[in-house]
Chains A and B, each alone.
Chain A
Amino acid sequence: DGGITQSPKYLFRKEGQNVTLSCEQNLNHDAMYWYRQDPGQGLRLIYYSQIVNDFQKGDIAEGYSVSREKKESFPLTVTSAQKNPTAFYLCASSKLAGGNTGELFFGEGSRLTVL
């Protein structure tokens, strides 16, 4: 079945450590996104990518980095520069043309806890 796979589902890290969250999609979608969600809050956009080897900052990109070397993959690195990294991270993808371009498909999320 087509979909988006995020891993790991739960992750613990110590302060000062970088951590990379994986996101893979087999929907043949061009665009991919990373959102962050804090308890009781909506989703905030971190980074997005419309095409391989290109990505743009979202609303809260500081302390995060991404890469888009393959169409299927869009990993997110939470660096030690991110001051408050404990959160629920959601990856999504969408088509860019030919229909309902506002329909995002989300993964199940990765919950990061910094100890």
Chain B
Amino acid sequence: DAKTTQPTSMDCAEGRAANLPCNHSTISGNEYVYWYRQIHSQGPQYIIHGLKNNETNEMASLIITEDRKSSTLILPHATLRDTAVYYCIAHSGGSNYKLTFGKGTLLTVNP
């Protein structure tokens, strides 16, 4: 899987949009971009994934640049419960069953 680079930490005001960036400049054509989050002392939770097109679900939106070298996870109206470590992962799927979790971005939502 391609290496991903994320900022170590970010802050966001409650009620505002949180935009979490991820660089994956060596991503290959068959690799998806996955996002997970981990609230302190809990197991990670899947958020969203995409290949080329932007994606949206009830939790977040994923914007992938046209060259696929970077992406942004958007939490449209952050709440205090969104404070967590967010992981961006490039993963090809198929017969590759190993997901590699880096250190992620600690998002702190402030009141």
A interface with B by C-beta (< 8 Å): 4, 31, 33, 35, 40-43, 45, 48, 50, 58, 88, 90, 92, 94, 96, 100-109, 111
- Whether B103 lies near A41 (C-beta < 8 A) is yes
- Whether B46 lies near A105 (C-beta < 8 A) is yes
Digitize B79-111: 1 where CB-to-A-CB distance is under 8 Å, 0 elsewhere: 000000001010101100111111110000000
For residue B43, CB closer than 8 A to chain A, the reply is yes
For residue B28, CB closer than 8 A to chain A, the reply is no
What total of chain B residues lie within 8 Å of the partner, measured CB to CB?
Answer: 23
Q: Which of A50, A102, A104, A111 has the most CB of B within 10 A?
A: A102
- Whether A35 lies near B49 (C-beta < 8 A) is no
Contacts of B36 in A (CB 8 A): 104
Contacts of A88 in B (CB 8 A): 41
CA distance A31 to B45 in the complex (A): 17
CA distance A11 to B42 in the complex (A): 16
Instruction: From known contacts A42-B87, A42-B104, A101-B93, infer whether A106 and B98 are also in contact, taking CB-CB under 8 Å.
Output: no
Contacts of B103 in A (CB 8 A): 40-42
CA distance A8 to B61 in the complex (A): 35
- Whether A58 lies near B98 (C-beta < 8 A) is yes
- Whether A94 lies near B97 (C-beta < 8 A) is yes
